[in-house]
Amino acid sequence: MNGMTDRRRERREHQVDADRRRAAVAPRRLRALLVGGAAEVRRSVREVLARQDALAWEAESVAGAWSAIRRHGPDVLIATTEVLRGGGARFVADVRRFDERVEIVAVVDTSERGRRALRDGAYDFFVEPLDLERLAVALRHIGETVRLREDADLLAAQDGGPLRIGGLVAGDPRMIRVLTAVRRLGRYDMPVLVIGEAGTEKEAIARALHALGREGRAFVKAEAGALTSAELARTYGQARDGTLFIDDVTALPTEVTAALAAALSPDGAEPAEEGRVRIVAGCPEVAPAWAEPGTVRGDLHARLSGASLLVPPLRERRSDIPLVARVLMRAVAGDGGHAVEIGHDTEQALVAYDWPGNVDELQRVLAAAAALAGGSRIEPRHLPAPVCEERLAPSEDAPTRRLRDLEAQHLRQVLIETGGNKSRAARILGLTRWALQRRIRKHGIDESRPASAGSDEREPPAA
């Protein structure tokens, strides 16, 4: 009973942590890009955007606008007469072809030019002198449209069954929202901060973003803690035109943090277009203490988090566990292999367990269980004892499992994980080799199966 109480307490604590994480995520801010315009018009538009707490950027020309669009992924683009004349006459239509989700507001000198912008797909137009109150209303409506459209995407994805992108799968609304954002962000160049606990699919998300926008180019992974300034420059060169994924950005040394922040600044050393590297950073915390405003790390965090994806842990999307497990089993089988089936009781056990190591832990458990099952269906007896115990814990009326059975299963699991090496298994279990052998005989464990992975009874000599 005490074990069951502890597990329920842990689940309550997990839920509190989840609520804190959700509260720590800032509400969706409108992303706006102002292109061209006289100094007075730009100042007025900036004031309107500031009052609405929008994220805002500026560009002076059509060429600069395209660079800023790919880099920042705006929700709304405010185009002035200067960029809609001459060579920019088709600018509105070209932007809409690139991404029809970008709403465009034209600030023009004549109604005719405004009507032409509407025909090309603009949301609205304003003839100078600019009516700032009307502009503010239009921007509020666009912000609401963006939020409603995202909610509609979520509902449509749920109605259509699990959403799949590459090796990622989601049926849970929070994870569907993440994958929907991945699908749109793939075409852009902007840095992306992927936030999640250890073992969540941060690298898989980075690879999905890369495949959607830069397939066929270099994908380079770097461990933040091992990076030096020279190594950062080298990996940047390797990832030219491609994607650099930096895992656990909180572990970056200070000098590397400063170098990366400089590379991501608008006037930094990053190549302009053809050599641009897309940065995707993994982060284990929502509001990391290392990113205090006014510090170098705070500066880097601000430049990385223009597009942030919060990946929920498996325990907060239990309905996704069977979907993820089937994908992982196909990966274990490999190309042309037959994926081992997962029994119904096994699936229930997987869903009930909290998976502190998330998808990485699930993958390890399934690989070991598939080896133990020997190609047949994976049943609860093939899972580690903690996973099975979790399945029984919620029901106080469930029959008590015998200690003898738990001990036998734990012995089998350790022998599988050590490849049948009894010296290592005994040390893990805190037993002598003689005591381990006696327990193996007591439980009638077939030693031939685990030994096939490595039959040497002795530890290899130390290197």
pLDDT in tens, 235-284: 999 998 899 999 989 889 989 999 998 888 765 444 445 568 899 999 98
Are both 177 and 305 inside the same structural domain?
yes
Indicate the helix (H) or strand (E) that contains 77: strand 76-80
Q: What is the pLDDT of residue 47?
A: 93
Bridge-partner residues for 340, per DSSP? none
Domain assignment of residue 58, given as a range: 31-150
Average confidence score pLDDT of the chain? 80
pLDDT one-digit tens code per residue, 73-127? 899 999 998 888 766 678 899 999 998 889 999 999 899 988 989 999 999 999 9
Residues comprising the chain, all counted: 463
| Last residue of one domain, picked from the residues 91, 122, 150 | 150
State mean pLDDT over 19-48: 76
DSSP 432: -
Is this prediction's pTM over 0.75? Answer: no
Are both 302 and 332 inside the same structural domain?
no
In a domain, 6, yes or no: no
Q: Which of residues 189 and 413 earns the better pLDDT score?
A: 189
Task: Measure Cα distances from 43 to 52, 107, 114, 398 in Å.
Answer: 15, 14, 21, 69
Are both 222 and 287 inside the same structural domain?
yes
In a domain, 189, yes or no: yes
Are both 145 and 186 inside the same structural domain?
no
| Last residue of one domain, picked from the residues 150, 174, 209 | 150
Are both 283 and 191 inside the same structural domain?
yes
* Tally of structural domains, the chain: 3
Which strands form 192-195's sheet, in the order they lie side by side?
A: 219-223, 243-247, 278-283, 192-195, 308-310
In a domain, 459, yes or no: no
In a domain, 405, yes or no: yes
> Smallest Cα–Cα separation from 281: which of 254, 312, 250?
250
Q: Any idea what the CATH number is for the domain that residue 388 is in?
A: 1.10.8.60
In a domain, 21, yes or no: no
CB atoms within 10 A of CB 182: 24
Indicate the helix (H) or strand (E) that contains 243: strand 243-247
Q: What is the pLDDT of residue 462?
A: 36
In a domain, 262, yes or no: yes
In a domain, 457, yes or no: no
pLDDT one-digit tens code per residue, 197-210? 989 999 999 999 99
Q: Any idea what the CATH number is for the domain that residue 125 is in?
A: 3.40.50.2300
